[in-house]
Structure 1
Amino acid sequence: MIGAAAPTLADATVTRFRPWCSALVILILPLSTAAQFTPYAARTQFLQSPPGSSPTGLLGYINPAILGRLTAPENVIGWSTERARAKVVNDWGIYSAFPHLGFGAVRRHGPGDVEYNEYRLGLGGGDGAISSGLAWGWSSGDTAPDPVFVAGVVLQPDRSWSLGTTWTATTDGDSREWAGDLGWRPFASTRLSLFAEGALGWDTGDRTYWSAGADARLLPGFHVTGRYIDDRTISVGVRLEFGEAGLWTQGQRDRGRGGHSRGLHLLRFGPHRGDAATPLLPDRPSFLQLDLHGPVRHRAYPLFDEGRPLLDLLRTLRRVETDPSLSGVALNLSGLRIDAAMSWELRQRLQALRDNGNTVIVYIDRADMRRYHLASVADVVVLDPAGLIVLQGVAAGQVYLRGALDKLGIGSQEWRYHEYKSAFEPVNRTGMSERDREQWQALLEDDYGRARHDITASRSLAATAFDSLVNDVTSLLPEDALEAGLVDIIGRWPMMEQIAVQHGGTGGLVETSELNHTVVEDWGAPPTLAVVYALGICAMDSGIRARALAAELRDLAEDDGVRAVVLRVDSPGGDPLASDLVADAAAACRLQKPVIVSQARLAASGGYWISMESDAIVATPATITGSIGVIGGWLYNQGFRERLGLSVDHVQIGDHADLGLGLPLPLLGRPLPDRALTDEEVQRTDRVLTSLYDGFVARVAAARKRSKAQIDSAARGRVWAGSAAMEQGLVDTLGGLRTALQLARTRAGISSERPVRVVEWPQLSWFSFRDWPAMVRTGLPARTQTPPPSWYSWLQFRLDHNGQPLVLLPQPVLEQVGPGH
């Protein structure tokens, strides 16, 4: 939203649930048979602290705003024992909730041995900093008061303060009650929480109520609570958590006459909230097993998508580093599909695990250079008995169409700025130009040198020995690989548990689904970082979707709930208009908050254009970046139409109106202009491209705080590997997506100990609507169907932008660059 403050997530949530809350009231009103207004003191009896300060708050039964803070389903059973007149009286309650929706039922004993059942149904929403909710209550039993309506709000602006308030009233308005609670954590953590609460009622049977106390966390999962209630009652409680279950118990004693006492108890079932028994249990660390069969990508749909998102994989491996119950990880790389940059990022994460003292075990069956480069980082490399390692070296090449186009009768004209800008060479030449060969050879030398360095360092091999394996051996059977020191064990994946036990994983192997995900009980919304993906060719409504992407960046600039933005770029470039639109939006966002760019495998030409307006650029050594230059070309009919026996005739107004007129090409479906550009038209195009190149260089120089001459020397259309680009001043630091997120956290002033929430844009649907028709037709999952050749879609894009200046790499060659294919 431009020109006005964008709505926050809390505003959006409240707006989203307002109609649902209204519908709830309308639907339940006819079903209410009897009601019971119970004072605040009785409603909160099972809690050890006020609802706004409590981890569960009885799941929205008292303050429905709590439902907006829940992150997982949870259930609570409560009961009380009270000795009165030598008779044991029991109240009990059952509470159940999902995020945003909760229900509770309580059996109460009132004055005069009256018994009744009380019910509450509530809705709530929020973002952690502010939550709100509505609830409807009714009752059945010996009395029949009116139903009650509850509205609640919880404010937690930071980790130190919590403020909750509720308004409860019968539908006729005769009985009304306001309640509020305040919490303070002096250390901004769950170590110590101080709280106070109070209620004021009108015709409720209990005019006022108050309490004050403290909750102290002595150990993870072990809390002690003390409260002073209404100037006459003392309460002491203990909270014991055992993972996904917990026991909360408290005793209350009245200091007045009689001094009667009662016990109040809760059993909780739901998310992991710590485990008090951990210090008492024997240490049996486990290994996390990860089967990485299939593609690793930036994004993956929740349904009908075999891909694994890179960010999820990095989070999982981070869990191995921080979870004391895990001593290592066992990875199955069979069938893994991953590009060179992501493979490097994954390898760095595994190396970090080893540096942390964790053990890494990797299983491979067939491995080329890239997959073995990844596997070599492990403490233990296991090769299948029928497996094979192929160290074939690296190569890059592409299909040149000039000869075929000559036979078809399709001509071409090219304008390039400058000598390394080779995007039009596939249609204008029959082989690499000298400058193009120079730059791609440099990329291959960088890839091969990095693979050789990493493999020899991890496996304690000499560089000459590695070169000999590549040039003289190439293919290694399991026994050969074992003898050469490339693997440690010959075995199959089912042996991994035995191997893990031998390396300290006495608890065996565990799946990701078996890990405990402990709920963070900090107050307030965690700081939010946004990862925005710019993937594919730079185009307005496809690829990076520049039109929508620019709008998203501008919205994030105005969203106070987002502290910093990481722009993840994986693009070979394309349309300068699309590139500039995104660059302008990134610059506008940068004025409001830090913007860090994480360059993946490709961030060249237009991909670099959208990267430059940032506080820092992070690239992997395997990133292909730079290519600051402009290319233009014109494909036209040079006998193709005539060979088909077709003719074209037309009328026009304007000397150049016939430029786009021509025969649609079969299969491609794009028109082929009927003539070449004249010398005058070529000169005009030259001026446009020269001006565009000069502007590109000037903008990079301004963004990178360097002179135009410095940028021009690194530009001229040349591509660079990430490490070389850093030497040229085009990149700030080497690293992956995790490095960029850490840098964004630092630039946003977020401490390293503070948990953060990472949101990803654009938001994905449940499955790919684009792939759905083909899935139904072929019966294949999304993204497993055979795509058209890369040169085919590249040629379509070229024809769509025929004659226009482009900031683009030659896409077909990129698929083949890196250690292995």
Structure 2
Amino acid sequence: MKGFFNHVLASMLGTFLVLIFLVIINIIVFVGILSSSGAFSDKEVKVTENSVLTLTFKNKIADRSSVKPDLSTMKIKKTLSLKEVTDAIKKAKDDDKIKGIYLDLSILNVGIASVEEIRNTLKDFKTSGKFIIAHSDFYTHKSYYLASVADKIYLTPSGVVQFSGLSAQLMFFKSLLENIGVEPEIIRHGKYKSAVEPFMSDNMSDANKEQTQKYLSSIWNSILTGIHNQRNISYEDLNKYADELSVTGSETAKKFNFVDDLKYEDQIIKELKEKTGIHPDDELSKISLSDYINSGKDFEELLKPKKENIAIIYAEGEIVDGEGTDEQIGSESLAKIIRKAREDESVKAIVLRINSPGGSALASEVIWRETVLAEQAKPLIVSMGDVAASGGYYIACQADTIVAEPNTITGSIGVFGLLFNAKKLLKNVGITINTVNTNTYSDMGNPGRKMTDYEHGKILQSVEEIYSTFITHVGEGRNLPTDSVDAIGQGRVWSGEDALNIGLVDILGGLQTAVDIAADKAHLQTYGIKYYPEKDKLSLILENMLSNTKSSLIEGELGEAYPYYENLKKIKTISGVQARIPY
């Protein structure tokens, strides 16, 4: 017995020492990352006189900011939020030390709807009389659209402006699946619900071509309108240049007034010095976007609780059952957050920011219920990002007001179910499956056999019921007859501008527009902002240090192929009937 207790105590002591060792190692790594990132630096970020705010978008701009350690470089990688970017531009407008903005657009890692919001904020900045200069080696449609707001647009000599119009390509897998012996079994409601088309056909359906052409044309026209208004190039000429590929190089870009001149970066720096009154031999006073965001922050004021607040709840990613991850919208986690904001007496209105292609229909229903309760308690405003479609629209439809950008992708009111019969494939590779059931259909969904007509009918019944519930919710939330919702539903995708015309959206604008509407409906003159999900930065860094190490290493190894790896992981998690795009 004595030996037994000695063994137990030794095991407990060993476990305790290992835990202590792991904690020490994590602290060392954590402190190392903070040290290398400058977190312990005494250097305070200050804005000097005659400064130029430099905006670069090489790193992703997300709806919600995040802080993650990069273990390969031992540095902290911070993702700025869209609101941080737009707030910084607004701050610079009234900051006497900032004389203008320099847009470095060689890389633009921002979604099209977010570009719209940044562009509108820059237009407002120009009303101060301060300058905006844009420069790039290569302008894409998106980056040129953002650059078009500038007073001067410059292109590197021998640089390129892409201007050929928008295009969408879909890949189809039907023949591939047939060749390997896999049969997709598809149940859907909505002739436009084309998320399953790649598995059931080798070509786009007429309905899918129609909707794709419609929303692409709407987004393209929005881009042309912005360029026309800022560069004074007619719609006819813009489409002609795109049709004829007239803007093939830097000289033609200048000839057709897409850019004002061809300049290298050192020439841009020289011009910026002239505009800010700095001697040619002196260093240009530039401040980066991230430094400017951190400059002059009153952390005591930020942490000070406000009596009246507007809650901004971020719902970003695919919609899944349960808790989900930081990159997903978990039904349980988001429902809890909405409930918390509803029950918080200091929160007078809620802005739900949605950037989601949809996902699980059941998860969407769980979240929808909480939006109903929230809307009954206080103003609920939805702000749509780059995409808020299918399940993303499901969780939006109950809001008092829905705000979207003209180029937001939304709608896709439809549902589908997708199973695969891999019996032939398994046989070809020498695999057999033996099944023992307690009931007739216990193995429904078994990939080793074809679905029976009875099973197909039952799943179809479920899909039809979910679709009926979906359009009923939309009808009630949008005050539209169910038949009308069905007519604009059927899985059809709409741009934000078209969605406004058919009643799925109330007003065009960005996140700030939604916040302003929330403040007005709650009769607030001054207010604080509460952000959800709530996480203190220390917890966030430690959490990501432990959970994202594998992903960070894989991402570094795969590089540009990493998104495909992420999509494969998502396919593994799909279960139940789905309300998602594409499309």
Same fold? TM cut 0.5: yes
CA contact (8 A) 1:659 1:675 kept: no
Unaligned runs of 5+ in 2: 1-43, 70-76
The Cα offsets for residues 748-804 of structure 1, whole Å up to 9 and x where unpaired, read as 2222xx363342424361263443124357767x9977232676356434xx42xx3
Q: Could you tell me how far apart the structure 2 residues matched to 1:473 and 1:723 are?
A: 27
Task: Please tell me whether residue 618 in structure 1 is matched to residue 403 in structure 2.
Answer: yes
CA contact (8 A) 1:527 1:755 kept: yes
Aligned partner of residue 461 in structure 1, secondary structure: coil
CA contact (8 A) 2:390 2:491 kept: yes
Aligned partner of residue 787 in structure 1, secondary structure: helix
Task: Please tell me whether residue 499 in structure 1 is matched to residue 271 in structure 2.
Answer: yes
Please identify the structure whose Cα radius of gyration is greater.
Answer: 1
Q: Which residue number in structure 1 is paired with residue 541 of structure 2?
A: 766
CA shift, 1:626, in A, is 0.8
CA contact (8 A) 2:103 2:147 kept: no
Q: Could you tell me how far apart the structure 2 residues matched to 1:779 and 1:429 are?
A: 36
Q: Could you tell me how far apart the structure 1 residues matched to 2:541 and 2:561 are?
A: 19
CA contact (8 A) 1:526 1:757 kept: no
Task: Please tell me whether residue 326 in structure 1 is matched to residue 107 in structure 2.
Answer: no
Check 1:505–1:378 CA distance in 2 against 1; reply closer, same or farther (3 A cut): farther
Check 1:766–1:633 CA distance in 2 against 1; reply closer, same or farther (3 A cut): same
Task: Please tell me whether residue 596 in structure 1 is matched to residue 381 in structure 2.
Answer: yes
Structure 1 range deviating more: 650-659 or 587-596: 587-596
The Cα offsets for residues 135-180 of structure 1, whole Å up to 9 and x where unpaired, read as xxxxxxxxxxxxxxxxxxxxxxxxxxxxxxxxxxxxxxxxxxxxxx
Q: Which residue number in structure 2 is paired with residue 42 of structure 1?
A: none
Check 1:783–1:473 CA distance in 2 against 1; reply closer, same or farther (3 A cut): closer
Task: Please tell me whether residue 685 in structure 1 is matched to residue 466 in structure 2.
Answer: no
Structure 2 counterpart of 1:631, from 395, 408, 416 = 416
Q: Could you tell me how far apart the structure 2 residues matched to 1:518 and 1:372 are?
A: 32
Q: Could you tell me how far apart the structure 1 residues matched to 2:102 and 2:422 are?
A: 58
Map 1:98-137 → 2, pairs under 5 A: none
Map 1:641-720 → 2, pairs under 5 A: 641-661=426-446, 673-720=447-494
Q: Which residue number in structure 1 is paired with residue 319 of structure 2?
A: 538
The Cα offsets for residues 380-426 of structure 1, whole Å up to 9 and x where unpaired, read as 11212242112131111222111111011111222221211112111
Q: Which residue number in structure 2 is paired with residue 393 of structure 1?
A: 165
Q: Could you tell me how far apart the structure 2 residues matched to 1:697 and 1:442 are?
A: 22
CA contact (8 A) 2:314 2:352 kept: yes
Map 1:455-474 → 2, pairs under 5 A: 455-473=227-245
Q: Would you identify which runs of 4 or more consecutive aligned residues in structure 1 move more than 6 Å?
A: 520-524, 782-785
Q: Could you tell me how far apart the structure 2 residues matched to 1:783 and 1:613 are?
A: 40
TM-score (norm 1): 0.59
CA shift, 1:627, in A, is 1.1
The Cα offsets for residues 702-721 of structure 1, whole Å up to 9 and x where unpaired, read as 11122212222211211110
Aligned partner of residue 505 in structure 2, secondary structure: coil
Q: Could you tell me how far apart the structure 2 residues matched to 1:776 and 1:629 are?
A: 37
CA shift, 1:450, in A, is 1.4
Identity percentage of aligned residues: 26
Aligned partner of residue 327 in structure 1, secondary structure: strand
Q: Which residue number in structure 2 is paired with residue 345 of structure 1?
A: 117
Q: Could you tell me how far apart the structure 1 residues matched to 2:394 and 2:577 are?
A: 14
Q: Could you tell me how far apart the structure 2 residues matched to 1:532 and 1:678 are?
A: 43
Tell me the amino acid that sits aligned with residue 453 of structure 1: T
Q: Could you tell me how far apart the structure 2 residues matched to 1:350 and 1:406 are?
A: 52
Q: Could you tell me how far apart the structure 1 residues matched to 2:372 and 2:555 are?
A: 44
CA contact (8 A) 1:390 1:474 kept: no
CA contact (8 A) 1:771 1:783 kept: no
CA contact (8 A) 1:284 1:505 kept: no
Q: Which residue number in structure 2 is paired with residue 551 of structure 1?
A: 336
Q: Which residue number in structure 2 is paired with residue 312 of structure 1?
A: 84
Tell me the amino acid that sits aligned with residue 420 of structure 1: Y
Check 1:474–1:286 CA distance in 2 against 1; reply closer, same or farther (3 A cut): same
Structure 1 counterpart of 2:562, from 786, 790, 794 = 786
CA shift, 1:326, in A, is 2.5
RMSD: 3.0
Q: Which residue number in structure 2 is paired with residue 62 of structure 1?
A: none
Map 1:511-530 → 2, pairs under 5 A: 511-512=287-288, 513=291, 517=296, 525=306, 527-530=308-311
Q: Could you tell me how far apart the structure 1 residues matched to 2:305 and 2:461 are?
A: 56
The Cα offsets for residues 227-267 of structure 1, whole Å up to 9 and x where unpaired, read as xxxxxxxxxxxxxxxxxxxxxxxxxxxxxxxxxxxxxxxxx
CA contact (8 A) 2:310 2:527 kept: no
Q: Which residue number in structure 2 is paired with residue 730 of structure 1?
A: 504
Tell me the amino acid that sits aligned with residue 549 of structure 1: L
Check 1:741–1:400 CA distance in 2 against 1; reply closer, same or farther (3 A cut): same
Check 1:374–1:416 CA distance in 2 against 1; reply closer, same or farther (3 A cut): same
Check 1:749–1:714 CA distance in 2 against 1; reply closer, same or farther (3 A cut): same
CA contact (8 A) 1:342 1:601 kept: yes
Map 1:407-446 → 2, pairs under 5 A: 407-446=179-218
CA shift, 1:731, in A, is 0.6
The Cα offsets for residues 673-726 of structure 1, whole Å up to 9 and x where unpaired, read as 122222222222222222221111111111112221222221121111001111
CA contact (8 A) 2:140 2:162 kept: yes
TM-score (norm 2): 0.82
Q: Could you tell me how far apart the structure 2 residues matched to 1:431 and 1:347 are?
A: 37
Q: Could you tell me how far apart the structure 2 residues matched to 1:772 and 1:784 are?
A: 18
Q: Which residue number in structure 1 is paired with residue 13 of structure 2?
A: none
Check 1:413–1:740 CA distance in 2 against 1; reply closer, same or farther (3 A cut): same
User: How many residues matched?
Assistant: 517
Say which structure is richer in strand: 1
CA contact (8 A) 1:530 1:562 kept: yes
Aligned partner of residue 562 in structure 2, secondary structure: coil
Q: Which residue number in structure 2 is paired with residue 74 of structure 1?
A: none
